[in-house]
Amino acid sequence: MNAAKLVAMANQIGDFFAAQPDRRQAAEGVASHLRRFWEPRMRAELLAHTAGGGAQELSPLVREAVEMLRKG
């Protein structure tokens, strides 16, 4: 899948969870959504894209969630 599309989708998910008052819970919500509903290939491509310098394209909340995914 196109990395730009994955970034856009991840940021849309982040926009949904950004309404939660607790930022940590919001980031965990994004990470959980990515784990549960994205194919492993999609997650792997997003992680590779962000590791390769694409992290600035993500909202700060989604960057936090991606770091949670990266750590397991």
The per-residue pLDDT for range 7-52, each reduced to its tens digit, is 999 999 999 999 999 999 999 999 999 999 999 999 999 999 999 9
Q: Is 39 helix (H, G, I), strand (E, B) or coil?
A: coil
pTM: 0.94
Residues 6-40: b if buried by 16+ CB within 10 A, e if exposed: bbebbbebbeebbeeeeeeebbbbbbebbeeebee
Tokens of 24: 């940590």
